[in-house]
Amino acid sequence: MRGGSSFIGGGGAVTGPQTDIKKHDTGCGPGELCIVGIGPGALEHMSPKGRSALEKSHVVVGYKTYIELIRELLIDKKIISTGMKDEIKRAGQALNEATAGQKVALVSGGDSGIYGMAGLVLEMAIRRNIGIGHDVLLEIIPGIPAFTAAASLLGAPLMHDFASVSLSDLLTPWEVIQNRIEMAAQGDFVIILYNPKSKKRDWQLSTVKDIILKYRRPETPVGIVSSATREGQRINVSTLSHMGRYEVDMQTIIIVGNSSTFRAGDFMITPRGYLDKYL
């Protein structure tokens, strides 16, 4: 693990508030904890480094849906899987195993630092006074985020500045989310929408559309991708005024173009400006 670019601890160059994560004697550590971004779903989109971390780990912790996506890589591993909304439990179990001296992989969909588990683990280590680099050797391994997987299926919608907003209000007040959408729309960012709809939360997307329509033309291209690179993948290109016609869920990524985004057949393209400047 010491060779990883995201390795924290072990005598290498360290930046950031390391003094906040203090030495504390616990377990029989130091164990090793890799937080692995497994990418959007298909195994071929996982990095070789991520696969290697799983192979070397004795214990693998993760959300049950993600565990199933990588099940064939987990032969002879101790598996700890939990359900939705158990993020704190998963992070705590991973830290417990690592401070007990185990080699642990905590898996996170997409990239673990984008709406993933990396931040929570670091926060919990601070809260529990676990010494990163002493009690636990930590490495954060990046993965392909869901929004870049979705964008690749849509063509090139993210060639210019963009903003990503999750519509889930479990942890963020709706007023804050709404204000972020407003500012992103006003600033003419391409807008990526995560978690657009759940079983109990089915009204926000319509409100978001109305907000964006204050600043974008109704025919603005919108890409709607569900289960990118997984079984059941769905890809649709629509317009801002009509995007509500398509089925979406928590596995859906929506990309709303900016004022220059255009559609070419089944592709969305947001120009970077090369042709206007150089041709």
Sheet of strand 221-226, all strands in order from the earlier edge strand to the far edge: 162-166, 190-194, 252-256, 221-226, 234-239
**CA-based nearest residue to 14, from 131, 143, 128, 133:** 133
| Residue 92, Cβ density class (10 Å: 0-12 exposed, 13-18 middle, ≥19 buried) | middle
Question: Where is 3: in which H helix or E strand?
Answer: none
Q: Reply yes or no on whether the pLDDT at 19 is more than 60.
A: no
- Model confidence at 277, in pLDDT bands (50, 70, 90)? confident
**190 and 259 share a domain?**
yes
**157 and 128 share a domain?**
no
CB 77 within 8 A of CB 106: no
Q: Which of 123, 144, 165 is the last residue of a domain?
A: 144
Say which CATH number the domain at 180 has: 3.30.950.10
Say which CATH number the domain at 125 has: 3.40.1010.10
- Decide if 276 is inside a domain: no
- Decide if 78 is inside a domain: yes
**199 and 261 share a domain?**
yes
- Decide if 260 is inside a domain: yes
Q: Which of 144, 163, 191 is the last residue of a domain?
A: 144
- Decide if 10 is inside a domain: no
* One-letter amino acid of 81: S
- The residue assigned the tokens 């080699």 is 103
**pTM value?**
0.88
Separation between Cα atoms, residue 147 and residue 166, nearest integer Å: 11
**174 and 69 share a domain?**
no
Per the model's pLDDT, the better-predicted residue between 12 and 131 turns out to be 131
CB 263 within 8 A of CB 236: no
pLDDT at 177: 98
Tens-place pLDDT, residues 194-229: 999 988 888 999 999 999 999 999 999 999 999 999
How many folded domains does the chain comprise? 2
- The DSSP line for 108-171 is ESB-TTSSSSHHHHHHHHHHTT--BTTTEEEEEE----HHHHHHHHHEETTSS-EEEEE---SS
**94 and 173 share a domain?**
no
pLDDT at 30: 81
Q: Which domain holds residue 216?
A: 147-269
Q: Which of 144, 176, 211 is the last residue of a domain?
A: 144
